[in-house]
Amino acid sequence: MTLTEMLCQLIAIPSVNPMGSEAVGGIYHETRLSDWLETYLRQLGVEHERVEVAPGRCNIFGKYSAHPAAKTILLDAHQDTVPVTGMTIEPFCPRVEHGRISGRGAADVKGGMAAMLHAFTRLVRERPPASANVVISFTCDEEANATGIQHLVHCWREPAAAGHWLGKAPDACIVAEPTELNVVVAHKGVLRFRIATQGRACHSSDPAQGVNAIYRMAKVLALLERQADELRHHPAPHPLLGPPTLSVGRIEGGASVNIVPDSCWIEIDRRLVPGESVTRVMETLKAKIEHQVPEARCELPWLSCPALAADHNRSIAVKLLEVMTGMGLTRSTIAVPFCTHASTVSEAGVPTVVFGPGSIAQAHTADEFIEIEQLEQAAEVYFRFCCGAAEETFA
């Protein structure tokens, strides 16, 4: 199977994350893709494992064992994609034309997945003498809740919960995301949670008989707008990522225009920079909101991922850049505002970078595609990196 053929097969298998909506129809969740990956690893003849993270949603792992004393590299790519509403191309009928492969997930992140799996396959078949041990992980539910990677990291921290070889942390990790072959050494974290206000319903012809939950929420929104403005003008922005940010992304309330609403809720997206604690940020926001608007209630966050700091991943970045220089490619280390699995892995003590083919500008788009040349270059970089990493120090 060529790399292009592999990516086309991956795109053709729907693995849409419902993103909190009801999963109706056969395109949702990762089950079919997990089946394909598990079968591929079995036929490749490598040690592999399937771990259920949530009902019907699994992480898939494969292991290439080069030498017991060699370092272990984790290659991670998430299985799920965002929904396909509004796409202008057939999402699951990959098209190969003009040097590109199109379809949902081509850039985010089945292109990176295919490149990693292709490199992993070469390691198994060619067994280069100085190769590191390599664990390849295909994690679930990245787009909504990051439950797959959190479960994996929990296995390292709580070995009793792990499989027979997942209880030990790797020496280094590369997370696949579309970076145009640049090496991401820092990115923002994310905290997402909901705020609710309660009121008392009544007929809208006499609103004084009720309590309007939307009016109560208006006080919260004004407070959050001031908070967002304060963050935007932060006196000491991060040198690579700028200031933290806050955004209200959703609001819903009321049942009908002729009923005073008895409930309202909003959803918050707070982006963190290195040095900020997810727990401390949440506690501070909650205290401020509930003190100034006692009628409001902050719910527990459904997503909380730290920022990735460029403190412990320089050696991986340097090695990747050296590999690309040897291939005649000129790339650099960068910082990005979006969040990835890398920060969760890094927080667990593993030096981690983000690296992969494709452009973030194509992720989640109506005509998502990836350049075949960059796909092939990424596969070669992953392979060469692992080939020479048996005795590397990733501190």
Mean pLDDT to the nearest integer, 250-257: 97
52 pLDDT band, cuts 50/70/90, is very high
The answer on pLDDT for 295 being more than 90 is yes
Domain ranges (residues) in the chain:
3-186+308-387, 189-305
The answer on pLDDT for 159 being more than 80 is no
For the chain, percent of residues with pLDDT exceeding 70: 98
CATH number of the 3-186+308-387 domain: 3.40.630.10
DSSP 8-state code for residue 200: B
What is the reported pLDDT for 393?
Answer: 87
CB-based contacts of 77, cutoff 8 Å, min separation 6: 109, 110, 112, 113, 116, 136, 137, 138, 139, 175, 176, 356
The model's pTM = 0.96
How does pLDDT run across 58-83, given as a tens digit for each residue?
Answer: 999 999 999 999 999 999 999 999 99
Mean pLDDT to the nearest integer, 314-328: 97
Angstrom CA distances, 227 to 12, 28, 270, stand at 44, 37, 11
The answer on pLDDT for 164 being more than 70 is no
Give residue for tokens 């292109």: 111
Joined tokens for residue 283: 């506690």
What is the reported pLDDT for 166?
Answer: 76
Query: How many Å apart are CA 133 and CA 262, to the nearest integer?
Result: 58
If you average pLDDT over every residue of the chain, what do you get?
96
Joined tokens for residue 81: 């994609």
What is the reported pLDDT for 20?
Answer: 86
Query: How many Å apart are CA 10 and CA 103, to the nearest integer?
Result: 10
Query: How many Å apart are CA 137 and CA 11, to the nearest integer?
Result: 18
What is the reported pLDDT for 22?
Answer: 86
Joined tokens for residue 365: 């788009």
How does pLDDT run across 1-35, given as a tens digit for each residue?
Answer: 999 999 999 999 999 999 988 888 899 999 999 99
Joined tokens for residue 183: 């090496």
End-to-end CA distance of the chain: 36
The answer on pLDDT for 225 being more than 70 is yes
395 pLDDT band, cuts 50/70/90, is confident
Query: How many Å apart are CA 249 and CA 155, to the nearest integer?
Result: 33
Cβ atoms within 10 A of the Cβ of 304, count?
21
390 pLDDT band, cuts 50/70/90, is confident
What is the reported pLDDT for 168?
Answer: 86
Mean pLDDT to the nearest integer, 83-104: 98
Same CATH fold assignment for domains 3-186+308-387 and 189-305:
no
What is the reported pLDDT for 155?
Answer: 86
Give residue for tokens 């292991």: 63
Considering only CA atoms, give the Rg of the chain: 23
| Preceding peptide of 350 cis, ω within 30° | no
Mean pLDDT to the nearest integer, 86-101: 98
What does the angle CA 147 – CA 61 – CA 46 come to, to the nearest 5 degrees?
A: 175
**Which class is domain 189-305?**
alpha beta
Angstrom CA distances, 242 to 17, 108, 186, 235, 236, stand at 30, 25, 11, 10, 8
